[in-house]
A and B are shown apart, each in its own frame.
Chain A
Amino acid sequence: NAGVTQTPKFQVLKTGQSMTLQCAQDMNHNSMYWYRQDPGMGLRLIYYSASEGTTDKGEVPNGYNVSRLNKREFSLRLESAAPSQTSVYFCASSEAAYEQYFGPGTRLTVT
């Protein structure tokens, strides 16, 4: 089992460009999450999906959109990237919220 996979691993964008971060899990989990982590900071929840077809805002949703494509896949879209969105983005999945399984992360730089 691959667990949680994320693509791409690294990305550099110019201000105003758009992109979609992809996440997939093969553990048959119902819940999926997107976090961002800035240097010296904890993980901040952007959006989460408790089940296929549902999404909810987290702590820092502004500037992002998500799509729960099916049970396996949960994508994060930046419509117009800003330097403040430079961060490491982690996707996670779980059956129980307290025990989440994380992907390897996408390191995004916006110039």
Chain B
Amino acid sequence: GQSLEQPSEVTAVEGAIVQINCTYQTSGFYGLSWYQQHDGGAPTFLSYNALDGLEETGRFSSFLSRSDSYGYLLLQELQMKDSASYFCAGRPGNTGKLIFGQGTTLQVKP
């Protein structure tokens, strides 16, 4: 089957670092994307890992290990505005579609 597993909720304090994990079960999986969604609005693209390793974009980093079927999103110097839902998404095979995880709700506290 093709599914991605994420924790449903994570809580952290302002200024801290938080890691949101994503594990998946699928074959022929092409890369892992991460999206952010505020209050049920339009999801926005954050990052993509095509290959193993770490990708850094400002305060956000994303990691992928294809051999472990595992990835994570790392958010540093947390701000209140980072409170949102975060989704990992994978591309099954060489297709033009994405399968999304169920999302992790991040609550940042003062």
Contacts and interface: CB of A to CB of B under 8 A. Distances in A.
B87 A105 contact: no
Nearest to A54: B96
A100 B98 contact: yes
Nearest to A50: B96
Contacts, number: 60
B103 A97 contact: no
B100 interface: yes
A41 B40 contact: no
Interface of A: 4, 31, 33, 35, 37, 40-45, 48, 50, 56, 58-59, 88, 90, 97-105
Contacts of A104: 41-42
A98 B48 CA distance: 7
Interface of B: 8, 31, 33, 40-45, 48, 50, 87, 89, 91, 95-103
Contact of B41 (A35, A50, A56, A105): A105
Nearest to B50: A98
A66 to B, nearest CB: 13
B33 A40 contact: no
B41 A98 contact: no
A58 B40 contact: no
B101 A97 contact: no
A105 B40 contact: yes
A102 B43 contact: yes
Q: Please name the 3 residue pairs, one residue from A and one from B, whose CB atoms are nearest each other, closest first.
A: A42-B100, A102-B42, A43-B100
Nearest to A96: B48
